[in-house]
């Protein structure tokens, strides 16, 4: 009993979690190619201002609770690790760079 | 004022035809005048599920192409004087009918019937578009399985695109024993994922297989599934009927059989 609760997720929960993720990408209708293109464009934009770790960058569509907390909506979540800030912008965005990049 | 309901699902084999047949019989039992239209051209099945396969002379495409009068193609179900079937063509393909032709046919039927139920083919191609063209509301049938739910979600999206505003969910083949074990998504899980209104839950019931074998509806024969279908019919008529307490019923059954096994 305890083993089932703590070690193994029930197949019901697995199904529900998989569907949640799957339906979001179905609804948004976003192909992997499009995601890749979007990712490259984001890298281009951010690279103008700071040096980022492109290899560890992660972009995905996920589900988040809507503001009224009644339902779920899709959101794009980008996790962009920063290496160093570039020259003149460094001072300007010092505070922001101090924060760890995270998803909502 | 008649209402046209399309029964759809996206995925095949989830119980659209069985649901159509049983809702039709259930509504007829409640005194409504009902016609069922099988819109699955090339793969007709509603006739055999209802046990009317030997009485087909003309079919849907004959009516659309005016090879016969509409009344000639309607098969009256002898068990329920208010229930009619318009069978589909078996030897034609989906392109034989257009959505405009379907809408015109349905508008003609509206004059004579209280409820027009359309059995939609699986898939999202022309057959689906024909079926939903003339409908006022849709019932989306799904089972608590990932593939069926995914397709149902896709269908909901398409119904939105085609401007259908009124749709409800029917969850078929629910096995409460599996839900309790954590091996099947519960009714709440499915409703939560698809976030649309629920109009009925049909438990997995072997009586459905038996009655389909015999070409008879389960509705009104005292089975749990039959009761679930008649409840949906009541809800269609606007009655406020609570959902079946499947948990209570099953646990009693399980306890009972458990007792029998022990003794």
CATH of the domain at B95: 3.40.50.300
Q: pLDDT tens digits, residue range A89-100? A: 555 554 454 444
Measure the CA–CA gap between B85 and B228, rounded to whole angstroms: 22
Q: Does B53 touch chain A (CB under 8 A)?
A: no
Contacting residues of B for A12, CB less than 8 Å apart: 179, 182-186, 189
Contacting residues of B for A19, CB less than 8 Å apart: 146, 149-150, 193
Percent helix / strand / coil, chain B, rounded to 5: 45, 15, 35
Lowest mean pLDDT among A8-17, B42-51, B107-116: A8-17
Confidence label for A101 from pLDDT (cuts 50, 70 and 90): very low
Confidence label for B92 from pLDDT (cuts 50, 70 and 90): confident
Whether the CB-CB separation of A55 and A9 falls below 8 Å is answered with: no
Distance from CA of B120 to the nearest CA of A (A): 22
Residue B92 burial (CB count, 10 A): 17
For chain B, what percent of residues have pLDDT higher than 90? 89
Q: Check A12 against B150: CB less than 8 A apart.
A: no
- The whole domain housing B230 covers 3-262
What pLDDT, on a 0 to 100 scale, did the predictor assign at position B120?
97
pLDDT, average across residues B207-216: 95
pLDDT, average across residues B184-191: 95
Token code pair at residue A76: 């794009």
Q: How many domains, chain B? A: 1
What pLDDT, on a 0 to 100 scale, did the predictor assign at position B251?
55
What pLDDT, on a 0 to 100 scale, did the predictor assign at position B189?
94
Q: Does B182 touch chain A (CB under 8 A)?
A: yes
Q: What is the ipTM of this complex?
A: 0.80
What pLDDT, on a 0 to 100 scale, did the predictor assign at position A78?
86
Q: Does B63 touch chain A (CB under 8 A)?
A: no
Distance from CA of B165 to the nearest CA of A (A): 18
Q: Check B153 against A27: CB less than 8 A apart.
A: yes
Integer Rg of chain A from CA: 18
Q: Where are the alpha helices (DSSP H) in B118-161?
A: 126-133, 146-161
Residue B10 has pLDDT above 60, yes or no: yes
pTM passes above 0.90: no
Measure the CA–CA gap between B207 and B191, rounded to whole angstroms: 26
Question: Which position has the token pair 């589900």?
Answer: A63
């Amino acid at each position: 009993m305890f083993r089932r609760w703590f070690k193994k997720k029930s197949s019901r929960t697995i199904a529900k979690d998989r569907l949640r993720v799957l339906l979001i990408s179905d609804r948004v209708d976003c192909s992997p190619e499009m995601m890749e293109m979007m990712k490259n464009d984001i890298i281009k934009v951010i690279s103008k201002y700071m040096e980022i770790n492109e290899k560890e960058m992660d972009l995905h569509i996920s589900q988040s609770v809507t503001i009224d907390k009644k339902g779920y909506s899709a959101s794009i979540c980008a996790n962009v690790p920063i290496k160093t800030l570039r020259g003149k912008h460094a001072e300007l965005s010092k505070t922001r760079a101090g924060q760890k990049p995270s998803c909502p | 004022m008649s209402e046209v309901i399309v029964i759809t699902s996206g995925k095949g084999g989830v119980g659209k035809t069985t649901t159509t047949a049983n809702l039709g019989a259930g509504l007829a039992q409640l005194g409504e005048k009902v016609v069922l239209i099988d819109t699955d051209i090339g793969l007709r099945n509603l006739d055999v599920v209802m046990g009317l396969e030997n009485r087909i002379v003309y079919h849907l495409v004959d009516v659309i192409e005016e090879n016969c009068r509409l009344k000639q193609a309607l098969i009256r179900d002898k068990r329920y004087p208010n229930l009619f079937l318009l069978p589909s063509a078996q030897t034609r393909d989906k392109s034989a009918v257009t959505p405009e032709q379907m809408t015109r046919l349905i508008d003609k039927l509206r004059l004579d019937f209280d409820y027009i139920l359309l059995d939609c083919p699986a898939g999202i191609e022309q057959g689906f578009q024909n079926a939903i063209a003339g409908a006022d509301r849709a019932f989306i049938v799904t089972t608590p399985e990932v593939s069926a739910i995914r397709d149902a979600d896709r269908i909901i999206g398409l119904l939105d695109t085609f401007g259908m505003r009124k749709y409800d969910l029917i969850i078929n083949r629910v096995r409460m024993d599996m839900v309790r074990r954590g091996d099947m998504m519960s009714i709440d899980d499915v409703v939560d994922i698809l976030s649309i209104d629920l109009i009925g839950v049909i438990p997995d019931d072997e009586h459905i297989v038996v009655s389909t074998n015999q070409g008879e509806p389960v509705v009104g024969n005292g089975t749990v599934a039959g009761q679930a279908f008649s409840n949906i019919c009541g809800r269609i008529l606007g009655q406020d009927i609570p959902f079946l307490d499947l948990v209570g019923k099953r646990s009693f059954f399980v306890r009972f059989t458990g007792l029998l096994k022990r003794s």
